[in-house]
A and B are shown apart, each in its own frame.
Chain A
Amino acid sequence: MHIPDGYLGPVTSIAGYAVMIPLWIIASRQVKKNLAAKQVPLLAIGAAFSFVIMMFNIPVPGGTTGHAVGAVLVAILLGPWAATIAVSVALVIQALLFGDGGITAIGANCFNMAFILPFTGYAVYRLISSRSHVKSFRRVAAAGIAGYIGLVIASLVAGIEFGLQPLLHHTTSGQALYCPYGLKVAITSMVAGHALVFGWVELIVTALVVKFLQVQDPALLEQQIGVGE
């Protein structure tokens, strides 16, 4: 889901930054209000976890690859705004140092994976887990389903961004200047891969870590209720 340089035209690239800059400012304010100094290591672990989990490319045999993002997990532990910060850190380093995602697309990629993904997932998690005991199976299920839905919705948004390009930018003869695939193909391809394969990996990873924390340190799953409201 890391859109490279050259796939988005200037309109979408600039829109990505234009939307993300205020969101980064709000995220900073929210985190400033809610993040305790002792939670900073967890923020760092969240950013690093998101970075490394994205290196685990999963194949659709004979086809393409994809990966989990870990954003919903960070949102569950530290709140969705902190997840925006943590995943953005990972995405910026991936773009600048490893060429994974374009630098012109940092805004759009952060919007998809560091905003849409954790916020959608967090909303689902809160909805399903509401009033459940911190050690209940419902929490684990909520985390997994939240990861799955978050990733699929983020892939849908990325698919729309890809698919808009032939409409926005083409030569006079109609040849695409950036992403050559239109909405139908882009959305179908992005959503299919994430709904059929990669979303399940996000589901398993998110649920497993929440299960581990239920056993290991359930307090971590309780402290952030209320953040971002």
Chain B
Amino acid sequence: MKTTTKLWIGLGVLAILSPIGLYVPALCKAGSAWGEWTPDEVHGLVGFIPKGLEKLGALWKAPLINYTLKGWENHGATHMGIAYIISAIIGIGLCIGLAFVVGKILSKKDKNHG
């Protein structure tokens, strides 16, 4: 089997295993990453919400925010896990697509033609 084929399969395996990155922190009751708190969490930490943080924080409404699907947020751990896998597949697909476009534009043409 070609190495790239194995690496493609590896990406698929990582996508399916990705909910580990959702469940393990939840089991350990770990909070947000440092510096990635919601404005409310910042309030809990320092007693106020910095004005610029509150304003800029609401700047962009990402369609799949936090790797969840709309309306699936409160449907329990299984839904969250499935949404996480779907997010991983969408994200991997878009990365591949975008990187291929960039790569095709930038890569050297076959020497026979150049």
Chain A residues in contact with chain B, CB under 8 A? 1-7, 9, 28, 31-37, 39-53, 55-67, 85-86, 89-90, 92-100, 102-104, 158, 162, 169, 171, 175-181, 186, 189-190, 193, 213, 216-217, 220
- B4 near A: Cβ within 8 Å? yes
Report the separation of the CA atoms of residues A56 and B101 in the bound assembly, to the nearest whole angstrom.
26
Report the separation of the CA atoms of residues A44 and B104 in the bound assembly, to the nearest whole angstrom.
10
Min Cβ gap A50→B in Å is 8
For chains A and B in complex, what number of residue pairs have CB atoms within 8 angstroms? 235
- B109 near A: Cβ within 8 Å? yes
Could you tell me if B35 and A6 are in contact, using CB atoms closer than 8 angstroms?
no
Could you tell me if A103 and B60 are in contact, using CB atoms closer than 8 angstroms?
yes
Pick the contact of B59: A40, A64, A85, A104 (CB < 8 A): A104
Q: Which residues of B contact A48 (CB under 8 A)?
A: 11, 91-92, 95-96, 99
* Known pairs A37-B109, A61-B30, A162-B35; A177 contacts B52 (CB<8 A): yes
Interface residues on chain B, number (Cβ under 8 Å):
69
Chain B residues in contact with chain A, CB under 8 A? 3-4, 6-8, 10-11, 14-15, 17-18, 20-22, 24-25, 27-36, 39, 42, 45-46, 48, 50-67, 84, 87-88, 90-92, 94-96, 98-100, 102-104, 106-110
Q: Which residues of B contact A65 (CB under 8 A)?
A: 25, 30-33
Report the separation of the CA atoms of residues A158 and B36 in the bound assembly, to the nearest whole angstrom.
12
Name which residue of chain B comes closest to A38, CB basis: B107
Could you tell me if B29 and A62 are in contact, using CB atoms closer than 8 angstroms?
yes
Pick the contact of A97: B6, B10, B46, B62 (CB < 8 A): B62
Name which residue of chain A comes closest to B19, CB basis: A55
Q: Which residues of B contact A32 (CB under 8 A)?
A: 106-108
Q: Which residues of A contact B96 (CB under 8 A)?
A: 44-45, 47-48
Could you tell me if A42 and B4 are in contact, using CB atoms closer than 8 angstroms?
yes
* Known pairs A44-B103, A186-B35; A213 contacts B98 (CB<8 A): no
Report the separation of the CA atoms of residues A96 and B65 in the bound assembly, to the nearest whole angstrom.
9
Could you tell me if A57 and B25 are in contact, using CB atoms closer than 8 angstroms?
yes
* Known pairs A44-B96, A45-B7, A178-B52; A67 contacts B90 (CB<8 A): no
Report the separation of the CA atoms of residues A48 and B21 in the bound assembly, to the nearest whole angstrom.
16
